[in-house]
Structure 1
Amino acid sequence: MITLRYLSRADVIAAGGGDWPSALADVREATRLLRAGEAGMEAESVMPMGGDPRANAYGLPAFVGGRYDAAGLKWAVHLPESRGDLPSITNTTFINRLSEGRPLGLVESALLTRMRTAAVSALAIESLLPRPPSRIAILGAGAQAKAHLAMVLALFPSVGEIRLWNRSADKLDALLADTPSPAGVALVRCAEKTDAIADADIILSCTTAPQPILDDDAVQPGRLIVQVGYHEVSFAAIAASDVVVVDLWGDFAARSAKSLFQMYRAGQFKPDQVAADLTSLVVDGWRPPAGASLYFSSFGLNLFDIALAARVLDQAEASGIGTALPYL
């Protein structure tokens, strides 16, 4: 009998979905498989859900070979705002065995989406900075900011101070209240963005800002700016950066709302100005010149969603976690 394993959020966590070293290892291995031609993605499908342009459903297919042996689809529904106990964004991933097509499971994957995004940021930090960071600024107070805060605390023991800023003070207060006081790390609440980024080795911009909040005055020698959100970084800031790195330059450059891709479509940035992508960092060991100002644009690759979901499903099956449903 063929069964389909269903994993709730609690099941995902029980099966290791919240483990940061594992998420980072997944991103690194999936990147190697992408370079080797053993992983890949198809263009996303976008379906409007009503008259609001912010309301869309996205179908994101990808495959990842190697130890993952998985083909899958992440189905993400984005609404302008939450409704009752329903969040504004829901993510569900369906996984088949790549080698034989056998259906494996259905995974609630909002947590995994945040994990893989922050793990990509961690890989950028490890690869682009010449030494471990000591002071980091996090802009934003939503789910991605929370994930990046957790990632920094879990993976970068060198960090002694994290400065946090958000336009909405109450959301920032809620984020800090929800974060256990870490030993040896100062969490500093900043009322002004300029205070948050002052002297920061890294700026992790994790907002939904529709207009840039970081301009060229945020660009400094040796500083890494990681853009996680949509249009947070000005064209001038990107142009002022010595080194521009992306996770991948793909067909999404023609439609993504990311600042870098908007700049490209405006005719102010050329693809050959990208110094490196994730495969260059992971496989080739590419590193930037010493003292360069650095900008990393994280689009978010759906092959990482498939890798994380496949790893969690394999662990869930081995440990008897989740609900096995009859399929055939």
Structure 2
Amino acid sequence: MITLRYLSRADVIAAGGGDWPLAVADVREATRLLRTGEAGMEAESVMPMGSDPRAKAYGLPAFVGGSYDAAGLKWAVHRPESRGDLPSITNTTFINRLSDGRPLGLVESAYLTRMRTAAVSALAMEHLLPSPPARVAILGAGAQAEAHLAMVLALFPSVSEIRMWNRTGSRLEALLAGKPSRAGVTLVRCAAIAEATAEADVILSCTSASDPILDDKAVRPGRLIVQVGYHEVSFAAIAASDVVAVDLWGDFAEKSAKSLFQMYRAGQFPPARVAADLARLVVDGWRPPAGASLYFSSFGLNLFDIALAARVLNQAEVGGIGATLPYL
């Protein structure tokens, strides 16, 4: 009898979905497997879900070999705003075993998407910065900002100060309300972006801004700007950066709303200017020149979603976590 294992968000967390070192290890290993041809992705399928251009559904297939032995599809539905208890974005990932096609499980994966995105940012910080960061700025107050705050607190003991800004102050207050920090770390609420970024070694931009909020004044020697959101960084800031790195340059450059890819389509950024992708950083060990100003554009790769979901499903199987459903 074939059964499927279903994991709710609580099940995902119980099965290790919130473990930061494991999430970073998943991204690192999936990147290595992509380099060797043992992992791969197909282009996303996009389906409109109404007249609002923000209302879309995305089908994101990928496979990851090695110990993951997984092929899967993340199905993400985006709505312009949340309704009642329904969030504006829902993600569900279906996993088959790569080696024989056996269906394995269904995972609520919005939480894992935040984990893998912040894990990519962690690797960018680890491999691009000249030394461990002491001061970090986080822009935004949504789910990605929350995940990046947790990531910095968990993985970077060198950080002594985190400055946070959001366009709507009440949302930032709601994010930080009751949030435990770490001994030796000061969390600072900032009223202006310039205040948040003034002394930052790293700027983690995690907003949904449709127009740039960071210009070339934010670019400084030795500073890393990580763009997680959509069009948060101006073309001038990217042009002023000595080193431009990405998780991957792919066909999505032809349609993504990310600042870097908009700049490319406007004829203002040649792909040859990309100094390194994630594989060159974590597999080859490439490092930027000393004192370089640094910009990293995180598109978000679906093979990371599949790797994390496969690892969590395997741990759930071992621990008897989640619900099993008859399949065949």
- After TM superposition, is the score higher than 0.5? yes
Does the CA-based 8 Å contact 2:247-2:299 persist in structure 1? yes
How far apart are the structure 2 equivalents of 1:99 and 1:257? 35
Letter of the 1:263 partner, please give it. Answer: M
Please give the residue correspondences for 1:246-265 in structure 2 after superposition, counting only pairs within 5 Å.
246-265=246-265
Residue matched to 2:272? 272
Letter of the 2:121 partner, please give it. Answer: S
How far apart are the structure 1 equivalents of 2:62 and 2:160? 38
How far apart are the structure 1 equivalents of 2:302 and 2:151? 19
The Cα of 1:313 is off from its aligned counterpart by: 0.1
Residue matched to 1:164? 164
Residue matched to 2:54? 54
With the length of structure 1 as denominator, give the TM-score of the two structures. Answer: 1.00
Does the CA-based 8 Å contact 2:153-2:181 persist in structure 1? no
1:21-53 per-position Cα deviation (integer Å, ceiling 9, x unaligned): 000000000000000000000000000001111
Q: Does 1:227 align with 2:227?
A: yes
How far apart are the structure 2 equivalents of 1:44 and 1:152? 30
Residue matched to 1:189? 189
How far apart are the structure 1 equivalents of 2:181 and 2:62? 38
Q: What is the SS of the residue equivalent to 1:130?
A: coil
Across the aligned residues of Structure 1 and Structure 2, the Cα RMSD in angstroms comes to 0.5
Please give the residue correspondences for 1:279-294 in structure 2 after superposition, counting only pairs within 5 Å.
279-294=279-294
How far apart are the structure 1 equivalents of 2:62 and 2:181? 38
Does the CA-based 8 Å contact 2:97-2:103 persist in structure 1? yes
Q: What is the SS of the residue equivalent to 1:30?
A: helix
Letter of the 1:140 partner, please give it. Answer: G
The Cα of 1:134 is off from its aligned counterpart by: 0.3
Residue matched to 1:210? 210
Residue matched to 1:133? 133
Please give the residue correspondences for 1:1-328 in structure 2 after superposition, counting only pairs within 5 Å.
1-328=1-328
Does the CA-based 8 Å contact 2:41-2:61 persist in structure 1? yes
With the length of structure 2 as denominator, give the TM-score of the two structures. Answer: 1.00
1:267-320 per-position Cα deviation (integer Å, ceiling 9, x unaligned): 000110000000000111000000000000000000000000000000000000
Q: What is the SS of the residue equivalent to 1:275?
A: strand
How far apart are the structure 1 equivalents of 2:249 and 2:72? 21
Letter of the 1:182 partner, please give it. Answer: R
The Cα of 1:178 is off from its aligned counterpart by: 4.1
Q: Count how many residue pairs are aligned between Structure 1 and Structure 2.
A: 328
Q: Percent identity?
A: 84
List gaps (5 residues or longer) in structure 1. Answer: none
The Cα of 1:59 is off from its aligned counterpart by: 0.1
List gaps (5 residues or longer) in structure 2. Answer: none
How far apart are the structure 2 equivalents of 1:209 and 1:300? 17
Letter of the 1:269 partner, please give it. Answer: F
The Cα of 1:90 is off from its aligned counterpart by: 0.1
How far apart are the structure 2 equivalents of 1:20 and 1:182? 15
The Cα of 1:183 is off from its aligned counterpart by: 1.2
How far apart are the structure 1 equivalents of 2:182 and 2:73? 36
The Cα of 1:182 is off from its aligned counterpart by: 2.1
1:110-161 per-position Cα deviation (integer Å, ceiling 9, x unaligned): 0000000000000000000121100000000000000000000000010000
